[in-house]
Amino acid sequence: MRLTPVDWAIIAAYFLFNIGIGLYYKSKAGANISEFFLSGRNVPWWLAGTSMVATTFAADTPLVVTGLVARNGIAGNWLWWNMVASGMLTVFLFARLWRRSGVTTDIELAELRYSGKPAAFLRGFRSVYLGVVMNCIILGWVNLAMVKILMLVLGLGKDEALWIVIGIIALTSLISTMSGLWGVLVTDMFQFFVKMTMVIVLGIAAVHAVGGIEVMKAKLGGEGSPFLSFVPDLHSVWMPAVTFCVYIGVNWWATWYPGAEPGGGGYVAQRMFSAKDERHSLLATLWFNVAHYALRPWPWVIVGMASVILYPHLQDPETGYVRVMIDYLPASLRGLMVAAFAAAFMSTVGTQLNWGASYLVNDFYRRFLRGNESDRHYVNASQVATVLLTIISAIVTHYMDSIAGAWKLLIVTGAGTGTVLILRWYWWRINAWSEVSAMAAAFLVSVTLQTVFHLDSDNPVQFAYLILTTVAITTVVWLATTFLTAPESDATLLGFYRKVRPSPAGWAPISRLAPDVPISHDLGWNLVDWLCGCALVYGALFGIGKVILNDYATGAAFLLLSVASGAFIYWDLNRRGWSSVME
C-alpha cells in the first residue's frame, strides 16, 4: 500500500500528539507510586472505563476476529463472547469490593486476604509469573499482530517489521515511563476515538466492496446459513455441543484469562483501583463491558465477512482484515487508518507495560528487595521495569507464530483457578494454600493432558475435555488442600472483613466477631443485576448485529430486551442510593 506525504504527516502528527500528552503529565506521574500506577485514585468512571475498552482494542483483535469469522462464521466469536458473564460478575459482585480494598495491585490483595509465608510466596510468585511471563506472552501476540500489519502495509519482511514495532514500543515505553497511568488513560481516550472511527469507516468500505449487505448475505449462504447464524450449529465439527456447553457453562467462571478474570484482575482491576470511589469503579466496569462486547465487535465482524468473499483462499485468514484495508479503503484515509492501528497497538502496550511494571515494583522489588526507599526511587525502578518488559516482549514476538494459539494457551493453563478467585471474597475458609494449589494443579494437569495424553487444544472436542478434566482435578485439589490446612488467623480475616465488607453469607463466623461492621444484604439483588447485565449486553450485541444485517424486527426485539435490562439495573442502583453515580 502506497502512503503519500500527507499520510506520513498524519501519522507523524498522531505520534507527536501522544508525546505531548506524556510530557504534559510527566510532573504528576513522578510525584509518587500512587500517582504513577493509580492516578491518585481520582479517575472518573468514563475515563477509567474507556481506557479499559481501549486497552482491549489492540492491533491483534481485528485480525483474530477476522480469522474466527473466516473459519467459523459469525458464531466463531463465542470464543470470547462467552466471557460476558464473567465481566458482569466483576461489575456487580466485585468492583466495589476491589475499590474498598485500597490495594495498589490485585496481587497485593494476597497479603490483605491471607497472612504469613504462604501469602508472601503467592504475592511474589504471581508478581513474576503474571507480570513477566504472562504479560510478555500477551505483549508478544499484540506485537505479532502489528508485525503482520506492517508486513502487508509496507511490504516488509518479519524482521524488518519487528524493528519498526520495537521502535513504536520504545516510544510507547517513553510515554508510559514519563506520564504514568494518567498519560496512559488520556492517550487511551484519544486513541479509542481514532480507532473506533476508522474501523467503522473500514466496515462501510468493506460492505461497498462486496456490493452491499444483501449481496454479502447471499454470497455467504443467505438466510438460514450456518455462516450467518449468531449461535453455532451444535453438530458442527468446529463447535460441537460439548464444546459450546463448556464455553457458556464452565469457561467463563473457571478460567483465568487477562481482561476477563473471574472476580476481576489485571489492568481491569488497576482501573477500578484508580476510580474516584466504588460507585465510579462499578460504572467504569459496566461501561467497559457494554462497549467491549456490544458496541465494538460489529465493524470487525463485517470486515471479516467481506474478507471471506474477497479473499476466499487465504492461507492466513487473519490477514484478510489488513488486505481489505489495503485494497478498498479510500486512499485519502490510509494515513488515518495506519494511525488507528498504531493507536490500537500503543494503547494496549502502554497499559500492559504500566500494569506489568506495577507488579514487578510494588509486589516484588518493593516487597522483597528494597522496602524503605523514597517514592522517587520506586518511580525510577518502575521506569527500568518498563524498559525490561519492552525488551523481553520483543524477544517473545520473534518466536511467536500464532495469535489465536497464544489465546488458547492462556485459557487452558488458567483452567480451574477461577473458582478460588471468586470464592476468596465470599467464603472465609479459603486460605493462601487454596490459591497456590489451584495454580499449581491447573498448570500441571493441563500440561500433562497435552504432553502425555496428547489432548490437542486446537481440536474442539479435545479442548472441551481438556478444560473439563483440568477444572475437575484442580477443584478437587484446592478443596482438599483448603480443608487439610489451617484457616487464616482471626486477626487476618477480621482485618479483611472490616476493610472490604463482603456479604456476610459466607463469613458468618467472622461476621459474629465484628458486630460493628455494617452488614450488607444485597447479594441477591447483585445477582439479579448480573443476570440483567448479561441480558443487556447480549441483547445489544445481537440487536445491533441483526439491524446491520437488515433483520429489523428481530433486531428491535433484542434491543428492547437490552433497554429493559438496562432500565432495571438503573432502577435498582438508584433505589439503593446510587443516584449520584453520574455526578
Predicted local confidence at residue 583, as pLDDT: 32
Task: Name 415's bridge partners.
Answer: 255
Asked if 424 and 417 count as a contact pair (C-beta separation under 8 A), the reply is no
Phi-psi category of 180—alpha, beta or left, where left has phi over 0 and alpha has psi -120 to 50?
A: left
Is 280 in contact with 44 (CB distance < 8 Å)?
yes
The three cell numbers of residue 316 are 492466513
- Number of domains the chain contains: 2
- Is 15 within the bounds of a domain? yes
**pLDDT score, position 113:** 95
In a domain, 430, yes or no: no
CB crowding 222-256: b at 16 or more within 10 Å, else e: eeeebbbebebbeebeebbeebbebbeebbbbbbb
Is residue 561 one of the residues assigned to a domain? Answer: yes
202 lies in some domain: yes
Which residue shows C-alpha cell 472505563? 49
How far apart, in Å, are the Cα atoms of 448 and each of 386, 444, 456?
A: 34, 6, 11
Selection from 498, 505, 557 nearest residue 526 by Cα: 505
Cα 147 to chain centroid, rounded: 21
Widest pairwise Cα distance in the chain: 71
Kindly state whether residues 191 and 330 are assigned to the same domain: yes
Instruction: For residue 570, tell me if it sits in a domain.
Output: yes
What is the structure's pLDDT at 19?
Answer: 78
Residue 224 lies in a domain: yes
Torsions phi, psi of 82, nearest 5? -65, -15
Answer whether residue 163 is part of any domain.
yes
Domain membership of residue 559 as a residue range = 527-583
Task: State residue 29's pLDDT score.
Answer: 55
Among candidate residues 350, 375, 403, the one where a domain is terminated: 403
Q: Among residues 355, 386, 403, which one ends one of the domains?
A: 403
Q: How many other CB atoms are there within 10 angstroms of residue 116's CB atom?
A: 13
- Residues in the chain, pLDDT under 50: 403, 579-583
pLDDT at site 487 = 94
Q: Which of 403, 423, 443 is the last residue of a domain?
A: 403
SS3 551: coil
Residue 100 CB-density burial (10 A; 0-12 exposed, 13-18 middle, 19+ buried): middle
Establish if 387 belongs to a structural domain. yes
CATH number at residue 132: 1.20.1730.10
